[in-house]
Amino acid sequence: MRNHACFMLFVKVALGMGILVGVWEAQLDYDYYKSSCPDVENTVRKAVLGVILTDPTAPAAFLRLLFHDCQVQGCDASILLDSKPAKGNSEMASGMNLGIRRLETIHSIKEKLEAKCPGQVSCADIVALAAKVSVAPSGGPDIQIPLGRKDSTTSSRQAADVKIPPSNVTVDTLLDIFKSKSLNLEESVAIMGAHTLGGGHCLNIVDRLFDRQPDDQINPGFGVILRLLCPTKTPLTNLTVVPNDKTPLCFDNQYYRDVLLGNGLFTIDSRISTDQRTAPIVRQFAADSRRFFRVFTSAFVKLSSSNVLTNEEGQVRRKCNQVN
């Protein structure tokens, strides 16, 4: 019932007050398209809500698309670039981007905006906006983000292989990654709360099922369930998706409640629930959804504004999958 309620929230979403936080990249601006394309956010919102109507798992896809884009080269839409012929060098060719989807929606939104405002709105801003407008209809906060990102002209499968953290990343590495994006400790734990939406593939959890590390504490009963869903160390198929938490369509604090019980899907979920630096924050977010929402908002703005290209550093691609 909670999943159904979260799915239906999208019909009630209006332009709320939102939460404004500081702009970390001086060139980004909350009113960047005020003159050049004033309807940009409304266009993205309508398109995303239309997708959610037919696919309630789409918010998780849009969030993951943004995070994976920002992790490699910064938030520059490099993940959308196609490979050069026969080279297979796009970020999407990386195994770390298994399951990334909804790229076609970004391309469709770009076409709409090109018709309204030719050459004005970057693909990087569309990716960021699609992710942010997915949160509120799922039950989360109405986040306001600054805009003005430019698109990159390069994409690298090798960079994606290295830069996108695996599901069994250590807490030390995770905190270092988010620190490089200007997130503090509390914000680093909050951004992990994006796992409250969607699910994961067997490929990303079989290691903990068949070769579990000492610091990976998993509820035995939950482990049995996972083994039924992912019965072999080498997955028979990559089509099986296991929910991240008990309410995978709801943006709520259930993720933190689950990991405290040993029911986190990924190894890193277990680790943040027991590490002495992060465990107290996990407990706070599990008990206080408002605090989680507030800190997640700050973390989201910082992450989506990190290492961006602005002004003449990049370009506004006419098509998101190719450079101009």
Q: Which residues are catalytic?
A: 68
Give yes or no for a contact between 137 and 13, defined as CB atoms under 8 angstroms apart.
Answer: yes
34 contacts: CB under 8 Å, gap ≥ 6 = none
Whole-Å CA distances, 30 to 110, 148, 182, 205, 300: 20, 9, 19, 39, 15
Give yes or no for a contact between 149 and 315, defined as CB atoms under 8 angstroms apart.
Answer: no
Give yes or no for a contact between 70 and 310, defined as CB atoms under 8 angstroms apart.
Answer: no
Cα–Cα distance, 115 to 123 (Å, whole number): 14
List 150's β-bridge partners, or say none: 309
The closest alpha carbon to 21, from 143, 186, 188, 180, belongs to 143
What percentage of the chain's residues is helix, strand, coil (to nearest 5)? 50, 5, 45
226 contacts: CB under 8 Å, gap ≥ 6 = 205, 209, 218, 242, 265
Q: What is the helix (H) or strand (E) element at residue 199, kind and residue range?
A: strand 199-201
Give yes or no for a contact between 227 and 235, defined as CB atoms under 8 angstroms apart.
Answer: no
